[in-house]
Amino acid sequence: MNNNYKANFRQVWKSMNLRLKIGLAIVLLFLILGFVVYLFSPGNVMGLSNFRKNLKPSWDHLFGTNKQGQDTFWLLISSIHMSMILGILVAFFATAIGVMMGLFAGFVGGAVDRVIMFVCDSIISIPSLPILILMGSVLKGRASIYIIALILILFNWPWPARQSRSMALTLRERDFINTAHFAGEGRFKIIAVEILPHVLSWSMANFVNTILVAIGAEASLAVLGLSSTTTPTLGNMIYWARQYQAIMLKQWLWIGSPVVATALLFIGLFLTYTGYNDYTAAKRGR
């Protein structure tokens, strides 16, 4: 039994292109940092004056401490943890809701379709950052990270809805669907058995991309001080570092580690996204 899994895994691994492999490796690294290493975190990383300030890196504090008296290393780990949770949460719900709405609109058609598409197009065509900034400043201080997540889900469900609706429309016309329909299969069964696999593979790619978008949006808000400033996220870490003039004070680890971590995480997610797209395209024989 075990051998089967190993063999399957090896085969799948071999067929993946380099881009996908590197991307997954990076994402895996961050998952380990954010969820495994995180388990050892001492908690309450955001507490001010936990430790003496501005200590150099040592075995007690791997990255030293910052001007707020926080342990930089554990702060980073917690930030990665929180940012990833936010990203995955938003991406999951936005993609799930979006795909369901899109398939529904595509199959039912008519007025329902038009209304849903109107809502989607409106949300898509309006630049999100200005609106997020406005919302952020209105909720300033009182926003918990989960409210931010909710708002981000609101902004990110229309895109997968649009895409899955087009898929539903094209698939609806395809012969094998009509065959199943004429053979008497119920509508929902058709959707589940025939359509879902197509949509699922696209959704996976979109899921990864949305993680990227969500973390990016929260980080942008955080850098402006509009996110939940008491929650450790990558963006907030950068915000506080800037507030305390970390660059001027040459506290490279404090400002540098979240910057590098964010850049690396995004590169990893992006490589996974495009690598996965190439992978599925190659499997389809394109």
Partner 1 sequence: MKLWKFILTRVGLWALTILVGVTIVFFIQRMLPSDPIETMIGKIVTMGSTLTPDAVQAIRESLMKQYGLSGSMLEQYVATLGRMLTLDFGPSMSSYPTAVSQLIGQALPYTVGLLLITTLISWIVGNAIGLLAGFKKNAWYSKFLETVSMCIYPIPYFIMALVIMILFAYINRWFPLIPSMPKFSFTFDWVKGVVYNSFMPALSLMLVGTGWWIISMKSLSSGVAEEDFVNYGRLKGLSEATIGYRYVFRNSILSQVTALALQIGGLFSGSLMCEIIFDYPGVGQLISTAIYNADYNLLIGLITISIIAVATATLIIDLIYPFLDPRIRYK
Residues that bind partner 1 (CB under 8 A): 19, 122, 125-131, 133-135, 137-140, 142, 212, 216, 219-220, 223-226, 238, 247-248, 250, 255-256, 259, 262-263, 266-267, 269-271, 274
Please say which residue, 108 or 264, places its beta carbon nearer to partner 1: 264
* Cβ-contact 246, 72 below 8 angstroms: no
DSSP annotation of 248? T
Structure tokens at 10: 């090896």
In angstroms, what is the minimal distance from the CB of 72 to partner 1? 17
Please say which residue, 147 or 204, places its beta carbon nearer to partner 1: 147
In angstroms, what is the minimal distance from the CB of 194 to partner 1? 28
Nearest residue to 275 via CA among 12, 8, 22: 22
In angstroms, what is the minimal distance from the CB of 198 to partner 1? 21
CA distance 171 to 103: 10
Please say which residue, 46 or 238, places its beta carbon nearer to partner 1: 238
Please say which residue, 7 or 134, places its beta carbon nearer to partner 1: 134
Please say which residue, 98 or 136, places its beta carbon nearer to partner 1: 136
Name the β-bridge partners of 71.
65
Structure tokens at 124: 């898509």
In angstroms, what is the minimal distance from the CB of 98 to partner 1? 17
Give me the long-range contacts of 104-107 (CB less than 8 A, separation at least 24).
105/161, 105/165, 105/168, 106/164, 106/165, 106/166, 106/167, 106/168, 106/169, 106/172, 107/168, 107/172, 107/187, 107/191
